[in-house]
Amino acid sequence: MTTTHPTTLDVPLELDRTESAAARRARLSTGALMLVLGALMAWLGFGTSGDASYALSDAFAAVQLPTVALPGLPVVLVCALLTLLAGAGFVSGRLWGRAKASAATIAAAAIVLGFVTWAAAGRPFSFPVQNQLAGTIALATPLVLGALCGVLCENAGVVNVAIEGQFLTAAFTAATVGSVTRSITAALVAGVIAGVLMGAMLALFSIKYLVDQVVLGVVLNLFASGLTGFVFDQLVQPNSTELNRVPPISRLEIPLLSDIPLIGPVLFNQTILVYLAFVSVPVVWFLLYRTRWGLRVRSVGEHPEAADTVGINVRAVRWQAVLAGGVFAGLGGSFFTIGSSVSFIKDITVGNGFIALAALIMGRWHPVRAALMAVFFGFVTQLASQLQTLQTPMPSQFLLMLPYLATIIAVAGLIGRSRAPKADGVPYTG
C-alpha cells in the first residue's frame, strides 16, 4: 500500500507474518508438480531420438517459412532441466515476487516445448505450427465468449453453470435462423437473442425466485438439451434442407496485417465472430473496471447490502449483468454452427460451456485472465488432436483431460489463491 498522505495514521495493523498455510501449500504443490513433470520429461528425453521438425507455414502460405528442425534429445533435456530448476526454486522457497513469476513462465514454456518436441521427434511428419495456432483460435473463440458471459454474471453475484445451455440454444437458433434467412447477421442476432433469453431464465429464477443457482444451472442445461433436441427431432431433422443448411461464413481479411508471416493468416484472416470474441475482452474489461455500470456490477457481487444502502437497485444491476452476459454466450454458441459453417446436431456444444466455466475460474473471475485461460484450453485441445495425427505414444484422451485436471488443481488452491466474488451465488433478499 502506498500512502500518499504523509499525515495519515491509517497504517494497517502490521502483524508479524508467517507464510499462510494456503500460500505454502500452493508453493510446494506447484514446485512438486514442476519437479514431477521435469523428471518425467528427463526420463522421456533419454528415449528421444531424431529431430523434431516444426513446419512454420502450411503449403498454401504466400510467404513460405522454413521448416525448423530441433534436435530431440538436447531440446527435451534442456527443457526438463529448466523445469526442474524452476520446481526446485519453488520448493526451496527462495523465489519471491518477480523471480517466482518468471520461473513459472519459463517452466510453462519449457513444459510445452519439451513435450511437443518429445512427441514430434523422429516422426515422419513435421509439427504444423500454423495449424496449431489456427486450431487454437478456432477452439478458443467460443470459450472466450462463454467465459466473458461467466465473468459478467459472477461478478454480479449470479453463479452461471448454464453457459452450456446458453451455448446450445444459441447454436441451434443461429443455425435454424441462418438456414431460413441465409443471412449471417440475422443468424447471429438470433443466436444472441437465444443466449439472452436463456440468461433471462437464469435471472428470473435466481434473482426473483431465489432458486439455488448451481441447481438452476444444471436444470437449465438439461432444459436446453431437451428443448433443442425436441425441436430438432420434431421439426428440423425432417426438413433439414430448409432448416439446417447453414450459410457459409466468409473470412474478413484485414489488409497488411494478414500478410504477416505465420501469425497474419491466423489472427487477421478470420470470421467476424473471432474478431468479436477478441474485441470483447477489452470491452468487458473496460465495462467492469472503468465504468459506473461496472463498479455497480462488482459491488452487487461483493457486498449487495452496501450497494443497496447507497441506493443501487441490486436486483436490477444483476439482471443487467446476466442479460449482458447472455449476449456473449449467444455469440459463443453461434460459433458452433454459424461461426464454423456446420449444421446443427444434438448436443453439438459437447461440454464447451463447462470448459468456459473452468476458464472463468482459472482466470479468477477477471476478463483478461479468463480469456487467456480460454486460449490456453484451446491450445491444449488443439495440441491433443495434432498429436493424435502425429501418432505419438501418448493417448490423446489424456491431453484432452488436461483442462479439467488443471481446473481441479486450480480450484484446490494448489497453484494459487482463487477467490470468487464474495456474494457469488448468494441471492439478495434484502
Partner 1 sequence: MAEEPADDARRAALRDRGRRWATTAGSILLALLVGAVLMIVSDPDVISQYAYLFTAPQLALGASWTKVAGAYSALLAGAVGSPAALAATAWQAAPLIAAGLGVGIAFRAGLFNIGAQGQAIWGSIAAAYVGFAWSLPPVVHLLVAVVAGVLFGAVWGGIVGLIKAKTGAHEVIVTIMMNFIAASSLAWLLLTPAFLRPGRIDPLAPPIQPSAAFPVIYGQLHVGFLVALVAAAIVWWLMERSTIGFAIRAVGSNASAAATAGMNVAGTTMVTMAISGALAGLAGVMYALGPGANAVATPLSLGLVGSVGFDALTVALLGRSRPVGTVLAGLLFGGLHSGGLAMQSLAQTPLTLSTVLQALIVLFVAAPAIVSALIPKVRAPRRPALVGGEA
Partner 2 sequence: MNHTSGGLQLAGITKRFGSFTAVDSVDLEVRPGEIHCLLGENGAGKSTLMNVLYGLLKPDEGQIVIDGSPQNFTNPRQAMAAGIGMVHQHFMLVDPFTVAENLMLGREGGFVLAKDAARQRVRELGERYTMPVDPDAVIEDLPVGVQQRVEILKALANDAQYLVFDEPTAVLTPQEIDDLMAVMDRLRSEGRAIVFITHKLREVRAVADRITVMRRGRIVGQAAPTASEAELAEMMVGRAIDLRVAKEAAAPGEPRLVVTGLKVANTAGGIVVDGVDFDVRAGETLCIAGVQGNGQSELVDALLGNVTPLEGTVTLDGTDITRATPRQTIDAGMGFVPEDREADGFVAPFTIAENLVLNRSNQAPFAHGLALDLAEIDRNAVALREEFDIRAQSVHDPISSLSGGNKQKVVLARELSRPLSVLIASQPTRGVDVGAIEFLHRRIVSERDKGTAVLLVSTELDEVEALADRVLVMYRGRVVGIVSPDTPREVLGLMMAGVPLEDAQGAPRPGKEENHG
Contact positions vs partner 1 (CB under 8 A):
25, 161, 205, 209, 211-212, 214-216, 218-223, 225-227, 229-235, 239, 346, 351, 354, 357-358, 361, 395, 397-398, 400-401, 404-405, 407-408, 411-414
Residue 308, binding choice from partner 1, partner 2, none, Cβ under 5 to 8 Å by partner class: partner 2
Read out DSSP for 153-200? HHHTT----THHHHHHHHHHHHHHHHHHH--HHHHHHHHHHHHHHHHH
Q: Shortest approach of partner 1 to residue 301 CB, angstroms?
A: 16
The residue (of 9 and 256) whose beta carbon lies closer to partner 2 is: 9
- Comparing CB distances to partner 1, the nearer of 96 and 209 is 209
Binder of residue 60, out of partner 1, partner 2, none (CB less than 5 to 8 A by kind):
none
Contact between 240 and 176 (Cβ < 8 Å) = no
309 binds, options partner 2, partner 1, none, Cβ within 5 to 8 A by partner type: partner 2
Nearest-approach distance from CB 249 to partner 2, in angstroms: 33
Closest listed residue to residue 374, CA positions, set 181, 111, 124, 142: 142
For 87, phi then psi, to 5°, come to: -60, -45
What are the φ/ψ torsions at residue 52 (nearest 5 degrees)? -105, 120
354 binds, among partner 2, partner 1, none (CB under 5 to 8 A by kind): partner 1
> At closest approach, how far in Å is the CB of 259 from partner 2?
36
Q: Which partner in partner 1, partner 2, none is near 222 (CB below 5 to 8 A by kind)?
A: partner 1
The SS3 call for residue 341 is coil
> Interface with partner 2 by CB under 8 A: which residues?
1-5, 7-10, 12-13, 15-23, 290-296, 298-299, 302-303, 305-313, 422, 430
Residue 213 near residue 221, CB atoms below 8 Å: no
Contacted by 358, from partner 2, partner 1, none: CB < 5 to 8 Å by type: partner 1
The torsion defined by the Cα of 118, 120, 123 and 127, in degrees rounded to 10, comes to -170
Burial of 407: CB neighbours in 10 Å, binned 0-12, 13-18, 19+:
buried
Nearer to partner 2 by C-beta: 7 or 241? 7
Give yes or no for a contact between 377 and 355, defined as CB atoms under 8 angstroms apart.
yes
Nearer to partner 1, 84 or 406 (CB): 406
Place of cell 437464469: 202
Q: Give the residue with the Cβ less far from partner 1, 228 or 334.
A: 228
DSSP string, 32-94: HHHHHHHHHHHHHHTT--SEEEEE-S-TT-SSPPPEEEEEHHHHHHHHHHHHHHHHHHHHHT-
In the complex, what is the shortest distance from the CB of residue 8 to partner 1, in angstroms, rounded to a whole number? 36
* Side chain identity at residue 308, one-letter code: D
Specify the residue, 3 or 64, whose C-beta has the smaller distance to partner 2: 3
Q: Which is nearer to partner 2, 298 or 318 (CB)?
A: 298
